[in-house]
Amino acid sequence: MRRPTRFQLILALSLGLAGAACSVDRAAGPSPTERSSLLGLFDKDPSLINCPAGEAQSATALIGPLGGVLAAGGTQVVIPANAVLSPTTFTLNVPSSKYVEIEVTTDTSEHYVFAQPVVVTLDYGRCGRSNLLRAPLTAWNIDPQTKALLEPMTSVDNKLTQTVTFTTIHFSGYAVAD
């Protein structure tokens, strides 16, 4: 019987450690605190930014395979060509709220899924708080009724324009968090 080589021992040990790391049960996913730490974006649990309530605004448009734009209250939704397969009526609602939040709905379903990602830009300029200009802000998918943070969106915080931009393949409720 041959003895394993040094390379074979290291490989076996590495694979064993990788298997052990992968066997941790994460069926429910990381907690919001763990997720925040993993992303390295937050020093604390994220929460929706609190601002003076703005005026409720909405926009409705029939958008088809050629794409289109919805804009209301400083929020812009750009739907590229081929993201919508058949003409669909979309409504962008910016509620009068202490949060920078939106909800986008369609006439066909509660949670619309696009064939290609769309670009959403949320404007937090009405907040007028200098502390928002320090730490990065992020967009979150939220439950529109409870305001619970559901999922962080990969987003870009532009401090100059005071907007947070992200892409998504589904419409639901979204808000800005710190």
| Enclosing domain of residue 89 | 57-177
- Tell me the average pLDDT across 93-121: 90
| Residue 141 belongs to some domain of the structure | yes
Residue 123 token pair = 């404007």
Return phi, psi of residue 139, to 5°. Answer: -90, 145
| Residue 42 belongs to some domain of the structure | no
Distances (CA, A) of 147 to 5, 17, 124, 140, 150: 57, 40, 17, 10, 9
| Residue 39 belongs to some domain of the structure | no
Top-confidence residue, 27 or 16: 16
Question: Tens digits of per-residue pLDDT, 71-96?
Answer: 998 999 999 999 999 999 999 999 99
| Residue 21 belongs to some domain of the structure | no
**Based on the structure, what is the number of domains in the chain?**
1
For residue 44, what pLDDT is reported? 66
Q: Average model confidence (pLDDT) for the chain?
A: 80
| Residue 48 belongs to some domain of the structure | no
Q: Is the pLDDT of residue 136 over 50?
A: yes
For the chain, the 3-state helix, strand and coil shares in percent, each to the nearest 5, are 20, 40, 45
| Residue 99 belongs to some domain of the structure | yes
Strand order in the sheet with 75-79: 68-72, 75-79, 113-123, 163-170, 155-158
- Tell me the average pLDDT across 55-77: 94
CATH (domain of 104): 2.60.220.30
| Residue 29 belongs to some domain of the structure | no
